[in-house]
Amino acid sequence: MADKMIVELENVSKTFRIYRERRDTLKELLLFRRRRFDELMAVNDVSFTVQAGQTLGIIGQNGSGKSTLLKLLSGIYIPTSGSVKIGGKVSALLELGAGFHPDLTGRDNVYLNGAILCLTRKQIDAVFDDIVAFSELEEFIDQPVKNYSSGMYTRLGFAVAINVDPDILLVDEVLAVGDQHFQSKCYEKISEMQYQGKTIIFVSHDLDAVRKVCDRAIYMENGVILEDGMAATVIGAYRSSIADKDLDYLEGRENKERERLGTREAEITKVELLNAAGIETLGLESKERTKLRLTVDFHADARDPIFGFVIDGLDGKNVYGTNTLWRGVKTGLFKAGQTVTVEFQQDMRLCGGEYLISPAVAYPDATRYYDWRTNVLSFKVRDDGTMMGIANLDSKIVITDSDSGKNILSC
Amino acid sequence: MFKKAAEIIKYRELLINFVIKDLKVRYKSSALGFFWSLLNPLLMMLIFTFVFAHVFKLGIKDFPIFLLTGLLPWNFFNMAVAGGTASVLANAALVKKIYFPRELLPIAAVLAELVNFLIAMALLFIFLAIYGYHFYLYVPLILVAIVIQTLFTIGVCLFLSGVNVYFRDIQYIVNVVLMALFYATPILYNISMVQKITLFKTYPWLLSLYQLNPMTPYMIMYRNMMYEATWPSWTALGVAAATAVAALVVGYLTFKRLAPAFAEEL
């Protein structure tokens, strides 16, 4: 069944009518007033096929048509034109626990939701214990789900959907919920399903998850497929297009500087980031030779001030930092009225993402600051889509046959 | 239509689950729970018996029995249409997120009421037996009448629930129409009394209008078999069957046309 096409979309379009005013009442119907509406092409002439056993990620920004596409695949929406062919049993996780009724117990809801996903009572009986075990809700299964926390609700919903044993699993962003422990269980279950040769179509904003899970990805924008191919390549293309947009945004945004500490006897008056070509920018390629240039005005005499900077991730985690003190350098005497530029030159061996820069000038004992500008700059790094994490370690991958010593592959 | 029927059979587990859900949810937080479905018609019977047998002195023999043979089938229709009309709208969250044949929602609403109705009927049979009514011979035909009534109600609910998604006023209109229909159906009175109404004698077209009421044949049949212990009027049976088929076809076609866009419209 390896080459069997299990999902076939042919020139599928979906148009929504956005009515300028609502007509819900019979009175307005009887008046036969034509409602004016705008047409919105949520999905525009999309064609692709998915092989049985493939895991396909669909990525794109909000409003790009991803979820509409998933609803077309699950049969909730009927395409305006084109055809959708599905060759198997579909289980859709568009919203976990969508079929739950708050007044019914967890047990009743498992049966109800299982039936919605087209299972017979016997089939549910057979997997009921698995479902409860997976959701870890043994103690609460006979309580009405309205008493559940949202995490419990989600866990039960996921446990049901995943135990339905579908041929095709459609997942819409639902894995983002739940704690770390449950998420990793979900991913484990997904890879188990992959191993069993199930087809999975996965919509997510979590690009690392898409890369981890999917062997193929589709990048959508404005209802059109822009890229379709290997997950890593498509994610790379998506990242760079996002980075371009974000850059415009970053440049238009006011300084995100949160905190500025210090006596200001020495003042950092200008912070610039220069790319390899020496042009000021907020967008860098990974490994690009970069200069961070500070302009410092001294308003009082200063002996051996420390110059340094820190790069942080958006999560506040330190990525890198250095200063003159740690290098064992005494910087000497600076006179009041003097202005200097301090340049930190380095290769930005970072993975794609957004980072923050905080430069500082400190007293020689490193306990007080002349000027510490927290998160004064944020910049974007773009990588080629072959990596994840923070550091770009520039790996080389070599595969050698152990017996012959022959090189099979290096990249 | 047969393809759809096959799909519904494929989803029968879900249909059963919907029915169970409807029943469970309804009485979940009330102390008497399921008994309300029996208590309610009994209380109505007491009230109507007081008003019509004692205040107005209609002079109908065994008025409580007479009333229940009409009131129980009417309650079934009344509750099923009210619940069925709202069924798609009430399950909007489900319709928007999960695919299943949408027909299941109004059908389940009707079947949940059917369950209540059957239980009430079983109790009524016990009453009838105690009061010495010889209805036993007609039980199979009573069941046939119930099946026809159920199909008719499903047809009506398919139509109304589909249209209600687009025009939410329907559910309010339905409530008013149901109330009017309650009095326009021979439940509190006998069909034979209608012929004597002077208003209908002066304006025969009003009588024709009255006779268009699709619920009347059911009342005639149930009364024939349970209260009068005779064979049902075959005309009534024929009319009921014909209207049931018509309602099913119209309801099915309307619903089929409207259902694909439910997810967008809700």
User: Does pLDDT of A2 surpass 60?
Assistant: no
**C-alpha span between A11 and A222 (Å, rounded):** 15
Decide which of A399 and B197 is more confident: A399
**C-alpha span between A363 and A369 (Å, rounded):** 6
Chain A residue set in contact with B, beta carbons under 8 Å: 16, 24-27, 29, 71, 74-78, 90, 92, 94-95, 98-99, 101, 103-104, 108, 111-112, 115-121, 144
pLDDT tens for B72-116 read 999 999 999 999 999 999 998 888 888 888 999 999 999 999 999
Answer whether A78 sits within 8 Å of B173, measured CB to CB.
Answer: no
CATH number of A5-246: 3.40.50.300
pLDDT tens for A89-103 read 888 777 776 778 888
Residue in A25, A71, A120 nearest the CB of B263 = A71
What pLDDT is recorded for position A1?
43
Instruction: Identify residue A115 by its one-letter amino acid code.
Output: A
**C-alpha span between A236 and A207 (Å, rounded):** 10
Using a cut of 0.80, tell me whether the model's pTM lies above it. no
Number of neighbours of residue A146 by Cβ within 10 angstroms:
12
| Beta bridge mates, A280 | A274
Q: Which domain holds residue B213?
A: 2-265
**C-alpha span between B107 and A338 (Å, rounded):** 86
**C-alpha span between B44 and B29 (Å, rounded):** 22
Answer whether B168 sits within 8 Å of A112, measured CB to CB.
Answer: no
Contact present, A78 and B260 (Cβ < 8 Å): yes
- List of chain A residues whose C-beta atoms are within 8 Å of the C-beta of residue B11: 118
Q: Which of A39, A116, A160 to mutate to test the interface with B (most CBs of B within 10 A)?
A: A116
Q: What is the ipTM of this complex?
A: 0.77
A127 vs A120, A183, A185, CA distance in Å?
11, 21, 17
A353-373 as b/e: b if 16+ CB within 10 A: bebbbbbbbbbeeeeebbbbb
Q: Measured between CB atoms, does B176 come within 8 Å of chain A?
A: no
What pLDDT is recorded for position A339?
94
pLDDT tens for A131-172 read 999 888 889 999 988 898 888 888 888 888 888 778 888 888
What pLDDT is recorded for position A216?
92
Q: Which residues contact B147 (CB under 8 A, 6 or more apart)?
A: none
Structural domain spans, chain A: 5-246, 260-382
Tally the domains of chain B.
Answer: 1
**C-alpha span between B70 and B74 (Å, rounded):** 6
**C-alpha span between B31 and A246 (Å, rounded):** 59
**C-alpha span between B154 and B15 (Å, rounded):** 13
What pLDDT is recorded for position A385?
81
Average pLDDT for residues A239-253, to the nearest whole number? 68
User: Does pLDDT of A87 surpass 80?
Assistant: yes
User: Does pLDDT of A251 surpass 80?
Assistant: no
**C-alpha span between B152 and A409 (Å, rounded):** 72
Interface size A-B, in CB pairs within 8 Å, comes to 81
Q: Measured between CB atoms, does B144 come within 8 Å of chain A?
A: no
Answer whether B169 sits within 8 Å of A25, measured CB to CB.
Answer: yes
* Angle (deg, nearest 10), helices A150-162 and A106-116: 40
Q: Chain B: give the shortest CA distance to residue A240, in Å.
A: 32
| Beta bridge mates, B160 | none
What pLDDT is recorded for position A34?
61
What pLDDT is recorded for position B184?
92
Q: Which CATH number fits domain A260-382: 3.40.190.80, 2.70.50.60, 3.20.20.140, 2.60.40.10?
A: 2.70.50.60
**C-alpha span between A188 and A186 (Å, rounded):** 5
For residue A31, name the pLDDT band (cuts at 50, 70, 90). low
Q: Chain A: give the shortest CA distance to residue B231, in Å.
A: 41
Answer whether B99 sits within 8 Å of A75, measured CB to CB.
Answer: yes
Complete DSSP assignment for A45-65? EEEEEEETT-EEEEE--TTSS
Number of neighbours of residue B235 by Cβ within 10 angstroms:
11
pLDDT tens for A341-370 read 999 999 999 998 889 899 999 999 888 889
